[in-house]
Amino acid sequence: MGKIAVFIETTEDGIKPASLELLSAGQQSGNEVYALVLDGRADSYQQELAAHGANKIVSVRSAENLLDSYQPSLYAQAVIGAMQGCDCDTLLAVSSALGRDLLPRVAATLDCALVMDCVGIDLAAQTARKSHFSGKTWATLRSRAKIRSHF
Amino acid sequence: MYGSAILSQKQKEKKTLKIVVCVKHVPDTAATIKLSDETHYNDTVKFVINPHDETALEQALQLRDQVGGDSEVVVVTFGKDAALTTLRHSLAMGANRALHIKSEEQLPDPYVTAAVLARAIAEDGPVDIIFTGMLSVDSEGMQTPYRLAAHFNIPVSTGVIDFHYEEGSVTVKREVEGAAREVLQMKSPCVVAVSFGLNQPRYPKMPDIIKAKKKEVKEIQLASLNTENLSPKTECLKMELPDEKAAAKILAGNVQDNAKELLHLLREEAKVL
C-alpha cells in the first residue's frame, strides 16, 4: 500500500467539495491517504476529512500565519515539505485556479511528472486521462518518474 | 538549474533588455484532428503559432520598443522542421532573431521541453524576461513556464492579462478564481506567461514578411544540448477520439404525449431522473 497526499483546498465556507472527492478517489485506490491542510483550520475539518477517506490529516503551519491565504512559493514549499515528511510519492489536487498555479510549482521543484485537468486516474497503473486539442482527442498518460505523479 | 543571476549587469546599466519568447508550432484550433496510430495524430493539418504564444510575442515586441536602445526579442521553439513557419511568422511580427531546437516528437513531454528550452536560452546568454503563452492548445500541459522558472530559479506568473515594466520591476495582473484579479510584482529576470486578452497581436505586413526571410534562425540539434540524461517523466499510452455524439431525437405529435414520452426517455434511456 502506497501513501498519497491530497491537497485540501478551502474557502471561507470550508473545504471545496472537489477536494473531498479526491480523498474518496485516494481511498478507493487502496492507498493510505494524507490530507494536507494549510489554512490553520485542520481541527474543524477533522470529521469531514475522515468521513471522506483521509487516514491522516497533516496541518502545515508557519510562523506569523503566513499560510492562512495562498502564497505561491510558500504553499509549494509547504506541500513539498509535507509530502516528504510523510513519505508520500503522489499528490492529488483540484485543477482550480489555485491548483493550476500550485501543482506546476511543486512538480517543477521536484522535477516530477504532472498531468493537469485529468478526467480519470488509475493510481495503481500510474495513469491519467486528459484532453488534448480542447477535447478533440483524449490521451492516456503514464507517469514514469521516480517520485511519481501529481494530478 | 542555471542560477538566479542570469540578468546581465551590462544590459541593466545600458537600460536595454534581452527578451526571450517561447513559441510553439501547433495545429490550427479550427483543424479537424484525426489519429494516425495509437499514440499520434495526423499532422498534415494546417499549423499556426500557438495563439497564447502569439500574444506573448506581441507583449515582448511592445516592451522592446518601449525600452528601446539595443533591446532585442529572441524567439525560441522546440519542434519539428515545420516549426520554421512559426519562427518566420514571429520574425515577420518583429522578433529580431530565432532559435530552432530540432525535435522529432509530436507532443514532447513538458519536463523535457522546459529543460531543453532552458538549456538553449542559457547558452544564448543572459536574459531579462522570458515570455510564454499560459498553455499550448495542443497538449494543454500548462506547466512549461513554471518548469522554466525553476531551471533559472526566478519568479513566474501565469494567466497574465495586464503587464507593466519599469526599471527591472515587472507588475502583472492575473486571473484567479471567480473572475477575481490579483496584481503581482516581480523583479526581472522572471517568466511571464500570458493569457488571451492581454493585447491584439499585430498582423505582419508584406514587407515585414519579406524582411523576416533574411533574419537569423539558428538551428540547434538536440544532441548539442547534452540531453542524454533527460528522460521524459510521462509517456503517452493511447490517444483516442471522443465518442460520436448520438443523433438528436425529435418528438413529433401533441405536446401532452411528448411530455410523457420525454419523461419516459429521461427516466429509462438517459437515466438522469
Total domains in chain A come to: 1
Kind and range of the H or E run holding B101? strand B97-102
Q: Across the interface, which of A104, A132, A140 has its CB nearest the CB of B140?
A: A132
* Strand stretches in A61-136, DSSP E: 90-92, 113-114, 118-122, 127-132
Contact residues, chain B to chain A, C-beta under 8 Å: 27, 29, 32-33, 35, 41, 107, 110-111, 114, 137-143, 145-147, 149-150, 156, 158-159, 175-177, 231-242
- What region, left, alpha or beta, does residue B51 occupy, with left being phi > 0 and alpha being psi -120 to 50 degrees? alpha
Residue B6, pLDDT score: 57
Residue A100 has pLDDT above 90, yes or no: yes
What backbone torsions phi and psi does residue B153 show, to the nearest 5 degrees?
55, 50
Does A136 contact B146 at a Cβ distance shorter than 8 Å? no
For residue A146, is pLDDT > 60? no
CATH code: domain B9-225 is: 3.40.50.620
The pLDDT, as a whole number, for residue A3 is 93
Chain B contacts of A80, Cβ < 8 Å?
Answer: none
Grid cell listed for A38: 494549510
Mean pLDDT, all residues of chain A: 91
Interface test with B, best of A74, A109, A122, A133 (most B CBs within 10 A): A133
Whether A119 has its CB under 8 Å from any CB of chain B: the answer is no
Predicted confidence at residue B272, as pLDDT, reads 80
Domain that holds residue A78: 3-150
Cβ within 8 Å of B, A 24-63: none
- Say if residues B33 and A137 touch (Cβ distance below 8 Å): yes
C-beta of residue A101 within 8 angstroms of C-beta of residue B158? yes
**Chain segment A44-87, per-residue pLDDT in tens:** 999 999 999 999 999 999 888 899 889 999 999 999 999 999 99
Give the list of residues 6+ apart from residue B116 with CB closer than 8 angstroms, or none: B78, B101, B103, B108, B222, B225, B227, B230
Domain boundaries, chain B: 9-225, 243-273
Residue A149: pLDDT band (50, 70, 90) is: very low
For residue A65, give the CATH number of its domain: 3.40.50.620
Q: What is the model's pLDDT at position B7?
A: 53
From first to last of its 273 residues, what are the pLDDT tens digits of chain B? 554 445 555 455 557 999 999 999 999 999 999 999 999 999 999 999 999 999 999 999 999 999 999 999 999 999 999 999 999 999 999 999 999 999 999 999 999 999 999 999 999 999 999 999 999 999 999 999 999 999 999 999 999 999 999 999 999 999 888 888 999 999 999 999 999 889 999 999 999 999 999 999 999 999 999 888 899 999 999 999 988 777 788 888 889 999 999 999 898 888 787
Distance from CA of A39 to the nearest CA of B (A): 17
Q: Tell me how crowded residue B164 is: count the other CB atoms within 10 A of its CB.
A: 13
pTM over 0.95: no
Q: How much is the average pLDDT of A119-146?
A: 89
Nearest chain B alpha carbon to A125: B237
DSSP state of A121: E
pLDDT of residue A145: 60
Query: Mapping DSSP to helix (H, G, I), strand (E, B) and coil, where does residue B154 land?
Result: coil
The ipTM, to two decimals, is: 0.93
